[in-house]
Amino acid sequence: MSTFPDHLDVEAVRADFPILTRTMRNGNPLVYLDSGATSQKPVQVLDAERSFYERHNGAAHRGAHLLSEEGTEIYEGARAKVAAFIGADVGEVVFTKNATEAINLVAYTMKASAGDEILITEMEHHANLVPWQQLCERTGATLRWLNVTPDGRLDLDHLDAMITGRTKLVAVTHQSNVTGTIPPVAEIARAAHDKGALVLADAAQSVPHQPVDVAALGVDFLAFSAHKMLAPYGIGVLFGRADLLEAMPPFLTGGSMIEVVRMEGSTFLPPPQRFEPGVPAVAEAAGLGAAVDYLSGLGMSAVAAHEESLTAHALDALREINGVRILGPDTTKDRGGAVAFEVEGVHPHDVGQVLDELGIAVRTGHHCAWPLHRALGVQASTRATFYVYNTHAEVDALADGIRYAQRFFGARQ
C-alpha cells in the first residue's frame, strides 16, 4: 500500500477494509460514519488474529511448549508496539478489556477518603464519570467538575481555583466523543501537578486519530480501547506511570498475576502482570499489534490531517443547511473528527433511521455523554465520526441525506 508522510492514499486504504464493499438497505453502498463508536478492521488486523489461532494458539505465560512460547512472544510483542506508539515504557502498559475497565482499574485501586476531591469535566463520557461518582460514594470524597462553554469547550477560567490541595485526581477526556473538542490536557496536567494531584486522560477518541505522547501530555494515567483504532474488541490499554503502578494493589485477582500463593495468603507479580489476571487475550493483542503497525505505516500526522480535512468539509456542508445546529466548536481548531448536530423539527433517531435507509451509518442518542448534552441544551443528537477510510464524497452524502430527512419529515421544503 502506498503511503506518504503527509497524505493518505484513501482509495488504497479503503481496499484494505472488506466491509466497505458491501451494500446496505435498498442496495445502497455503505457509508460508515460511526468510527467514534467502533472502527472497521483492515485485512491486516483480521489476518493477524486469524494467524494466531491457525498457527500459534497457546496460552501465553502458561506453558513450556512452543505454542505457549509463541503466544507469549506475540502478546508481549504487542505490548512493546503499543508502548512505542504512545511514548511509554513497556512496563507502563497494562492490557485491560477496554478503556472503561482501564479507568475502573484506577478508580477502584485509588486510596481516597472524606475531604479528598476528584475533579472531572462536564464533557466526559460516562466511562470517565460514573467510576469517579462511585469512588466518591464509597470513600466520602467530593466530586467536582469543570463546566463547558456554550460552544462546547472547557471553561478553564476557574481551573486554578477548582484544583486545590485536597484534589486527589483530575480526570479529563483528551477528545470529546460528542463535539470533538480537544481540551488542553497538558496545561491541565501542569496545573494539577502544581497542587500535587494526579491526572488521568480518557484517550479513547484521541489515540486512534492523532499523535499521542504520554510524556508530552504529562499525564499519570491514560486509557484507550483497541476496537476504536482498527483492532479487535475485548482489549484495551491503561498507561500508568511506573512508580504509581508499582504502588497500586491488584484490581482483579486470580491466575497469572500471582507471585506466591499459600492457603494463608498470596503475593503478586510486579506491574503490568499484577493487573492482568487470567489467560491473556493473545489473539486480540495480535490484532492490536497489527493495528498499531497499520496506523504507524500511514503516519499519525497524516491520519490527523486527513480527518481534519473531512471535519472542515463536514462543518462547512452542515453549516449551509437551514435548520441544522452543530454542537460544539464551529472550526477545526483543537477539534477532532466528531460532528454532532441536531435537525430542527426532526428527532435524532428519525434522522438516523432515514440515513440508515440511504446506507449511511451514524450514531444517535446521548452518546454516553448525557451531562454534556444537557449542558448544550439538547437531550440527544445525531453524530458523524470520521476515520482513515472516509472520503469527502461521503461527507457530501451525509449532507444530502440530512436534506432528504428534512423533506421526508416536512421540516423543510
Which residues are part of the catalytic machinery?
A: 368
Among residues 183, 165, 128, 30, which one has the least CA distance to residue 369?
128
**Backbone φ and ψ of 81, nearest 5°:** -65, -45
CB under 8 Å to 203, separation ≥6 — which residues? 99, 174, 175, 212, 222, 223, 224
DSSP β-bridge partners for residue 221? 200, 240
CA-nearest of 134, 94, 102, 105 to 118 is 134
Peptide bond into 150 cis (omega under 30): no
DSSP 211: -
Residue type, position 402, single letter: I
User: What type of residue sits at position 314?
Assistant: A
Phi and psi at 330, nearest 5°, equal -100, 10
DSSP per residue, 320-371: TSTTEEEES-SSSTTB-SEEEEEETTB-HHHHHHHHHHTTEE-EEE-TT-HH
> DSSP string spanning 75-135?
HHHHHHHHHHHHT--GGGEEEESSHHHHHHHHHHH----TT-EEEEETT--GGGTHHHHHH
Cell of 78: 504487542
DSSP 175-189: S-TTT-B---HHHHH
Where on the phi/psi map is residue 346: left (φ > 0), alpha (ψ -120 to 50), or beta?
beta
DSSP annotation of 7 reads B
Q: Which residues of 80-109 are buried (b: 16+ CB within 10 A; e: fewer)?
A: ebbbebbebeebbbbbbbbbbbbbbbbbbb
Nearest to 236 by CA among 279, 176, 296, 285: 285
